[in-house]
Amino acid sequence: MTRRAEEVRTLDPGVARMYTCGPTVYRYAHIGNLRSYLMADWIRRALMHRGYEVMHVKNITDVGHMRQEMLEEGGDRVILAALEEGKTPQEIAQFYAQAFYDDEAKLNILPAHVYPWATEHVAEMVALVEQLMDKGYAYLVGGNIYFDVGKFEAYGALSGNQQAGLMEGVRSEADPLKRDPRDFTLWKLAEPGREMKWDSPWGEGFPGWHIECSAMSTKYMGQQLDIHTGGVDNIFPHHEDEIAQSEAAFGVPYVRYWVHGQHLLADGVKMAKSSGNVFILDDLVERGFDPLAFRYLCLTVRYRNRMNFTFSTLRAAQRALTGLQGRMAVWSQAPTLAEMPSEAEEWREKFWEKVESDLDLPSALATVWNMAQSPLPDAAKAGLLAEFDELLGLGLNKAPASHEVPEQVGTHVEQRSGLRTSGSYGEADALREHIASHGYVVEDQAVGAMVRPKTPLERMAGQFATVSSPKEVASFLEEPPTMDFSMVSVVSGYMEDVQRITLSALKWSEGHDAELIVVDNGSTDGTSEWLEELRASDSRVNVVHADHVLGEAAAKNIGLMQCRGRTVVFLDPSTEVTGDILTPIDRWLDDEQVSMVGPWGVCTDDMHHFHDEVTSAEADAMQAYCQGFRRSLINEVGLMRECFRFYRNLDLDFSFQMKNLGHRIFAVDDLPIVRHEHRVWAALDEGQRNELSFKNFKRFFKRWGDRGDLLVASSQRHEHS
């Protein structure tokens, strides 16, 4: 509220009442959401260290608002699918709430003392709305009740925002029943056919979202809270409206300290379904990470700063965490000290000072590492780290799992130690490699050789290298071509399709001087392993594995950068090559007039409607299913624009990049290639298709919308006139 760090003074000394806006449980919490719950957990642990008794409430927004959000967002696949399967909204909420509790446990987030469910507190919400009506802060119109923002003078104090109506007007039609566009809904009349509805003095209806937190926090902690947390997107309107409701009803300050966590970004953009960059905790586990590596990663960025999530930083976090665990295991074996050395107290003060200085966890973590490298005796280090971990929550206090080391491995470890003492380091290293091949890691510590099983990540590593972004990939574009053709396919799971396109492309390019580059865009279904086998069995194959799903343009650019052929042919995994396509493509490209060819061209007259399937004619764009062009063109027109994360309409943009420099695109009908169902498209529902396509279309249109001069229709008009 004051926008500066303040010393925490709670209402009742020694007691801290803390409320955290919790998850909406009709989908998995993503790691961005989890970051904001980690922040609350660290605040709570810091207070506990100061001896506070913390009372923590975290609400569960369950099915009450599902319908409303579905309507606004154009439907949610998961809910729709579950409803189709005959699950009730309650079952869906139960499932995702359990998944949320599990995620919290995996991240060592201390469970809240109460997780109130919204639908179980509708009576409290109704009572609060009645109170607001009685006091004249709310009005009834058309069966709905709105909060009268004009009556509440302090409105906007938290966010500095008075513009409720404007925001709402952007999302949907402004509600014509409101007296003032800033007013917000407290209670809404159930529309016909609505399932989730409750009785109230104003007829059957359902509560607005904001009233849930005011009503439930009051029920469990009273009218005044010490600390209220959430993500920055909660500040307005959610928290602004909570303040208005609670303070209007009770006449006392609602919250003493607001703390909002900044967003987590992935690939530099906010994590959101429509950007295709949402990760849930299980996505990390699936890739071999310990969930606590994510907790560690969040320690490295101050809560009030945005954090850009990448798998390479997560890998670094995992290594650091494994390192701390290993050190702790060693230190814990040191003989106990009669008394702690005085330097220990200095480290302790330093650590907690950082923690209490606006939750400066990156500095606190740096202190941990400095302490680890200091000359302090091991037992003192163990004692300090155990204390610090009560805040950090990295599970370092757990007695290290006593690993059952197979007898043979144990023998090897002993043999290796013997070799080292006798100075046979070469042989010792070879034995270490051998032990590694059994899945164990030997680390030489002051106390002797320590052996532990490989972490899941270490087990996966070494199978094949991965990249996190095009920046990590070498570009051959400046070098002269070393072969005739580079076929490029970007794939993302759907192994059968990947097998169909790669095997057909390889079969029908036999006899040509060609390579096949497969960009494996974050597959997790075994496709990556299959591609590695393919690479091993066929020297024409080059595979680049991305460690997560990159945006479409970024993935395609990796393919382009890796090309060594004079001619590039993009092949979509929904296609299948049925004959020699390379000979005709090269023949077409021999014509100087022709810069890009493919079988499936599109044309437009107005830049809005691209009609499909121009064949045997000049086209305005070539669809991504199959595009052939000279590699040298890329150095002229540039790579694809990486703001295109979804595939649709990226092909239009890339085509216009070419047309802009006078290049011409031709649809030809003599390429033996066919199309099958596009699996990515088929997996999306109508709402997602529209949203993703439209976003990309806007990007395309913004750049090329006024370039009607580039259209085929335009040049034909010239010829006519």
CB of 228 to Zn ion, least distance (A): 8
Q: Could you tell me the two tokens for 55?
A: 């009372």
Our CA angle for 333, 338, 342, nearest 5°, is: 100
Sequence-distant (6+) residues with CB within 8 A of 233 are: 263
DSSP classification of residue 224: -
Q: Could you tell me the two tokens for 372?
A: 């680890």
The interface partner of residue 231, options being ligand AMP, Zn ion, none and the CB cut-off 5 to 8 Å by kind, is: ligand AMP
- The backbone region for 101, taken as left when phi is positive above 0, alpha when psi lies in -120 to 50, beta otherwise, is alpha
CB of 359 to ligand AMP, least distance (A): 15
Residues 262 and 229: beta-carbon distance below 8 Å: no
The interface partner of residue 325, options being Zn ion, ligand AMP, none and the CB cut-off 5 to 8 Å by kind, is: none
CB of 21 to Zn ion, least distance (A): 3
Q: Could you tell me the two tokens for 554?
A: 């970024």
* Segment lying near Zn ion (by CB under 5 A), choices 208-216, 350-358, 610-618, 641-649: 208-216
Q: Could you tell me the two tokens for 165?
A: 């109506």
Q: Which helix (H) or strand (E) covers residue 498, if one does?
A: helix 495-508
CB of 246 to ligand AMP, least distance (A): 18
Which spans in 107-226 are helix H? 122-134, 164-171, 210-221
CB of 125 to Zn ion, least distance (A): 12
CB of 93 to ligand AMP, least distance (A): 12
Nearer Cβ to ligand AMP (140/235):
235
User: ω before 237 within 30° of 0 (cis)?
Assistant: yes
Nearer Cβ to ligand AMP (45/263):
263
Sequence-distant (6+) residues with CB within 8 A of 445 are: 326, 330
* Segment lying near Zn ion (by CB under 5 A), choices 17-25, 428-436, 558-566, 573-581: 17-25
CB of 490 to ligand AMP, least distance (A): 26
Measured distance CA(133)–CA(149) in Å, rounded: 13
**Residues 675-704, interacting with Zn ion (CB under 5 A):** none
Longest dimension (CA), the chain: 100
**CB count in 10 Å sphere of residue 83:** 17
21 is a site residue for Zn ion (CB under 5 A): yes
Nearer Cβ to ligand AMP (231/377):
231
Q: Which helix (H) or strand (E) covers residue 478, if one does?
A: none
Nearer Cβ to ligand AMP (21/47):
21
The interface partner of residue 89, options being ligand AMP, Zn ion, none and the CB cut-off 5 to 8 Å by kind, is: none
CB of 217 to Zn ion, least distance (A): 8
CB of 124 to Zn ion, least distance (A): 14
Nearer Cβ to ligand AMP (233/472):
233
Measured distance CA(366)–CA(378) in Å, rounded: 18
The interface partner of residue 213, options being Zn ion, ligand AMP, none and the CB cut-off 5 to 8 Å by kind, is: Zn ion
Q: Could you tell me the two tokens for 147?
A: 């909060």
Closest CA to 633 of 655, 666, 658, 598: 658
The interface partner of residue 295, options being Zn ion, ligand AMP, none and the CB cut-off 5 to 8 Å by kind, is: none
Residues 21 and 213: beta-carbon distance below 8 Å: yes
Nearer Cβ to ligand AMP (306/611):
306
CB of 98 to ligand AMP, least distance (A): 15
The interface partner of residue 271, options being Zn ion, ligand AMP, none and the CB cut-off 5 to 8 Å by kind, is: ligand AMP
Measured distance CA(627)–CA(184) in Å, rounded: 52
* Segment lying near Zn ion (by CB under 5 A), choices 14-22, 62-70, 72-80, 288-296: 14-22
What are φ and ψ of residue 422, in 5° steps?
A: -90, 10
The interface partner of residue 263, options being Zn ion, ligand AMP, none and the CB cut-off 5 to 8 Å by kind, is: ligand AMP
Nearer Cβ to ligand AMP (21/467):
21
The interface partner of residue 24, options being ligand AMP, Zn ion, none and the CB cut-off 5 to 8 Å by kind, is: ligand AMP
Closest CA to 216 of 114, 134, 145: 114
Q: Could you tell me the two tokens for 451?
A: 């052996």
The interface partner of residue 470, options being ligand AMP, Zn ion, none and the CB cut-off 5 to 8 Å by kind, is: none
- Residues within the interface to ligand AMP (CB under 6 A): 21, 23-24, 32-33, 35-36, 230-231, 233-234, 261, 263-264, 270-271
Nearer Cβ to ligand AMP (36/245):
36
3 state DSSP class of 212? helix
Residues 29 and 378: beta-carbon distance below 8 Å: no
Find the residue with minimal CB distance to ligand AMP: 231
Residues 588 and 668: beta-carbon distance below 8 Å: yes
Instruction: Report the residue count for the chain.
Output: 721
- Could you tell me how many residues of this chain bind Zn ion (CB under 5 A)? 2
CB of 35 to Zn ion, least distance (A): 17
Nearer Cβ to Zn ion (19/303):
19
Sign of the Cα pseudo-torsion (99, 100, 102, 103, in order):
positive
Q: Could you tell me the two tokens for 208?
A: 């607005």
Nearer Cβ to ligand AMP (234/696):
234
Nearer Cβ to Zn ion (237/276):
237
CB of 233 to ligand AMP, least distance (A): 5
Nearer Cβ to ligand AMP (234/466):
234
Closest CA to 189 of 144, 135, 130, 134: 144
Radius of gyration of the chain (CA): 30
**Residues 210-239, interacting with Zn ion (CB under 5 A):** 213
The interface partner of residue 35, options being Zn ion, ligand AMP, none and the CB cut-off 5 to 8 Å by kind, is: ligand AMP
Nearer Cβ to Zn ion (16/21):
21
CB of 274 to ligand AMP, least distance (A): 13
Which residues form the interface with Zn ion (CB under 5 A)?
21, 213
